[in-house]
Structure 1
Amino acid sequence: MTTLRDPSPSRRIRANGDGTVYQRKDGRWEAAGYVLAPGNTRKRIRVYGTTRTEALAKLTEKIATSNRGVPVPSAQGSVSAYLTYWLEAVAVYQLRENTHTRYTACVNQHLIPGLGKKKLAKLTAKDVRTWLNQLRTTCQCCARNSDAGRDQPRCCAAGACCSKRLSPLTLAYIHSVLKSALEHAVREEEITRNVARNVRTGTPRPRRFEPLTADEARQFLHAARDDRLFALYELALRTGLRKGELLGLQWEDLDLHNGTASIRRTLQRTQTGGLTALPTKTRASERRIALPSECIHSLKRHREVQEGEREAAADDWRDNGLVFSTPAGGPIDPANLNRSFRAVLDRAGLRRIRFHDLRHSTATLLLEQGVELVVIKELLGHAHIGVTATVYAHVRIRLQRDAIDLLGRTLRNSTETTTGTNVGTDLPPCAPAVR
């Protein structure tokens, strides 16, 4: 009677769907099986190990992941190839032109040189962390070989590195671009997870700004009163409109009888179209605001001046319907507005600030007067009230001091108030009550 012999380890019988495991001629073990692929299809994969147990464990893990409905990654190319595809086929249709230009520069200058050669499917959080740490400590003059285009080297080529490093805000921006690209790769089932989200870079401090005080704001308006664009400066300071929103404002957007303005577009310079009217920054930026009476009067005077310029230009007048235009009716370049704004600051004897700081000045002055945060959020056109609260946190600290002082006066008993007991001499001076 013949007896059955046990099968060899390489030929053990496995259940249907468990895949196969066998030893290769080179001594390694190979396991193969079918798993879920993108598009709800099945795909045969192969994994390898130095032992049968190792190869079988790898295959079992992938089959278990597939049974949970997670498809196997299909990405075979490099990070560089995917970033190029993402910019040309995806981001170009989802982003504004200027934003897409900044994303392209970020990818070409930082992402592709640092991570471009790695396989997309094998990119790990450790790779991203190592690259960010290296980027944080690298001199940008040395990395970009800036000395090659200079008549006289003054950095690494001269033997004295200037240590020009990227700011925390720039690092956070580069990291966010990578996260956006990998997030789309996850949605297209090219990879199973976004490894860039597992890397924490810390929250960078927001850019510091110094808004105008109430006295400086009055001084600025006085210096700009005889300026051709006085109505623009007053509207910017009293309503907090963005530069592009002011330059893209048209007469049809204004209702001077009822004192309202509809913000529908913004004027920006793009590489392809030059000065172009685009939709507002966000959906929340498209809003309707109330105009102060001072702005209504200045806008009426500005319209009379513009009518005079129209008659003087005659056939050379370009009718764009813009509220603020050049003497020939064309749109005002944002760079030219910056130069005019600096000239007004110099005439007023004020420190140099950005035009955008007029917007910060509006919000700061309103907060100091006790205006509710939600009202300021609607006036400025922020998408979320958290943005308003974060940007103007320094003002809210002062309002907290006012509230604490008010509470301190309330809690003092009548005896201390009438006898003049010096109980609160160590407290800061009381500020006006917060409404």
Structure 2
Amino acid sequence: MRKDDEIDRRALKLAPKDPGLYKRCGCTEIGANGRRRELGMRCPKLVKLQFDAAGQLKMDDKGRALWDWDGKHGLWAFQIDVAAPRGSGKDRQRIRKGGFASKTEAKNERAKIEAQGSSAKTRRVGATTLTTEDALTAWLKTRKVRKNTLVSYTGHVDNYLIPHLGKIKWRELSVDDVAEMFRAIEERNEEIQASLKINPRGKRHGNLTKAQKAAGATRELRRIAGAPTLQRIRATARKAYNDAMRAGTVPGPNPFALVELASGAAPRPKLWTPDLEAKWRKTGEVPQSNMIWRPDHVGAYLDFVAEEVAGEHEEPVYYDILDLASFTGLRRGELCGLRWDEDVNVDEGYLDVQVQLTYTLGVVEEGPVKSDAGQRRVPLDPEAVASLRRLRKRQSEARLAFGAGWVNSGRVFCRVDGSWVNPDRFYDAHVRMVRKAGLPPVSIHGLRRGAGSMAIASGKSVKAASSLLGHANEKVTEDHYVALADEMLREVTSAVRATIPRRGTGQVM
């Protein structure tokens, strides 16, 4: 077909152009019924065919004519598919708008509808280019959560979700994609474990050469992502995808909810029994991370801390914090956050847990406690009240000694100059003192679990222990915070045996 041939352009198969963008005009023709009608986008003047130097019509590999829009004829228009109104019984509806002088104007107007997201009920907008990286980055900007929660979300997105899934289109994510990500993370865990045997000092990050540092390279994360971490990564991604499903920008079901992972649930806490302690002293083996001290361990530890403070090897307030933590089970952030004026009543003998201090991104901040159940009143025994009175007197003397240099933080537990206690530095001091005391390792949260266990061991109900610890329900206390000593269980088995009637001694002669 040559350029000078008579060509019926409407009969040609034309190669496709930009999907959803087209031109139309106001030209008319006489129809079969004798009436004049508008040609719209069927007008042949809108199309300018492409010919080669020899005058032959150019074709693509599928036999379709190559062409361009005529820049001097017609106006630009667009079409877009959006979700149909609720109750219409339809999956989608098509929106068309025209009258734009340029292609750019039409594209910009269509982009406005795409950007409206849930307000425009966009479900099927053709071939969307939104990647998982774009979607998760945008999602993080909309989160109105606590700062440390946002830091956790960001770490999951930056360190795991984007590196493994970032280039995949958000609405095309599959269960296989997600499962492959977790498989790759577990493979990386094995590599990190092997490398730590060679370089145990680089636990968090890989080391960089001077040339890499000069080039601006960042250190590779070398932290092992265990089963609990994988569950938290999945929870972050599942939340982001659920939000997108509610906005109508991705289809269901949620691929992150369908992938199978190990539960990641922590084992029930375990007591440092004499046999486990003897094995630890011989091999250094710690049975699990959530170990609990026996009462004699707690007493020995507090005595050691008192000696460290008396010898001015540690902050004096550390003893006061640990002493209160040992029998109330307050979290370290709650302990550091206690305020004299708002939270403590020494005359009535109680304290109200209302705020906590957290250390996030290098800054200590005050915030609400972990949950609504965490807001609680803790009655104090006379010895605790007397201890708080002595502490307040000691702080008054320090305020006079420091004069203008005193920092009026208003905290019950503060440093010698009155400033806040950094919860993370307090934790580090605890780890240091436990090691120095030669005791089997237990975290500060282990002291909290120990308080719950000792409450049960002293004959108090699980409900009472749950209220003391500020748990939403008793099951959390029973499953994750209570470890019973063998002596208590031995009493139970003895009591059960005593209820069984026997004719004789029960001994085989």
Cα displacement (A) at 1:285:
0.9
Provide, for residues 296-324 of structure 1, a one-character-per-residue CA deviation record: whole Å limited to 9, x for no partner. 12111111111111111111112121111
- Answering whether residue 232 of structure 2 is matched by residue 173 of structure 1, we say yes
For residues 488 and 242 of structure 2, the distance between their equivalents in structure 1, rounded to whole angstroms, comes to 40
In structure 2, the residue matched to 1:195 is: 255
In structure 2, the residue matched to 1:86 is: 139
Cα displacement (A) at 1:385:
2.9
Asked if structure 2 preserves the Cα contact closer than 8 Å seen for 1:259 and 1:290, the reply is yes
Asked if structure 1 preserves the Cα contact closer than 8 Å seen for 2:84 and 2:93, the reply is no
Cα displacement (A) at 1:364:
2.0
- Give the stretch that moved more between structures: 237-246 or 126-135: 126-135
- Give the stretch that moved more between structures: 394-403 or 127-136: 394-403
For residues 393 and 128 of structure 1, the distance between their equivalents in structure 2, rounded to whole angstroms, comes to 36
For residues 421 and 451 of structure 2, the distance between their equivalents in structure 1, rounded to whole angstroms, comes to 23
For residues 347 and 190 of structure 1, the distance between their equivalents in structure 2, rounded to whole angstroms, comes to 56
Equivalent residue for 1:302, pick from 391, 395, 414: 391
**How do residues 34-433 of structure 1 correspond to structure 2 at under 5 angstroms?**
36-37=83-84, 43-44=92-93, 72=123, 76=128, 77-89=130-142, 91=143, 93=144, 95-139=145-189, 149-150=208-209, 165-193=224-252, 194-206=254-266, 208-225=289-306, 227=309, 228-229=316-317, 230-252=319-341, 253-271=343-361, 274-342=363-431, 344-345=433-434, 348-392=437-481, 395=484, 402-413=491-502, 415-416=503-504, 420-422=505-507
Cα displacement (A) at 1:168:
1.4
Q: For residue 155 of structure 2, what is the amino acid of its counterpart?
A: A
For residues 375 and 209 of structure 1, the distance between their equivalents in structure 2, rounded to whole angstroms, comes to 22
In structure 2, the residue matched to 1:22 is: none
For residues 292 and 196 of structure 1, the distance between their equivalents in structure 2, rounded to whole angstroms, comes to 49
SS at match of 1:138: helix
- Give the stretch that moved more between structures: 109-118 or 217-226: 217-226
Provide, for residues 92-130 of structure 1, a one-character-per-residue CA deviation record: whole Å limited to 9, x for no partner. x1x211221121121011101111111122212222122
Asked if structure 2 preserves the Cα contact closer than 8 Å seen for 1:261 and 1:290, the reply is yes
Looking at CA atoms only, which structure, 1 or 2, has the larger radius of gyration? 2
For residues 244 and 350 of structure 1, the distance between their equivalents in structure 2, rounded to whole angstroms, comes to 24
Structure 2 gap ranges (5+): 1-60, 64-78, 95-120, 196-201, 213-221, 267-287, 310-315
Higher helix share goes to which structure?
Answer: 1
Asked if structure 1 preserves the Cα contact closer than 8 Å seen for 2:471 and 2:477, the reply is yes
**Overall identity of the aligned pairs, in %:** 25
Cα displacement (A) at 1:222:
2.2
Asked if structure 2 preserves the Cα contact closer than 8 Å seen for 1:37 and 1:73, the reply is no
SS at match of 2:391: helix
Asked if structure 2 preserves the Cα contact closer than 8 Å seen for 1:254 and 1:262, the reply is yes
For residues 164 and 320 of structure 1, the distance between their equivalents in structure 2, rounded to whole angstroms, comes to 36
* RMSD (CA atoms): 3.6
Q: For residue 296 of structure 2, what is the amino acid of its counterpart?
A: D
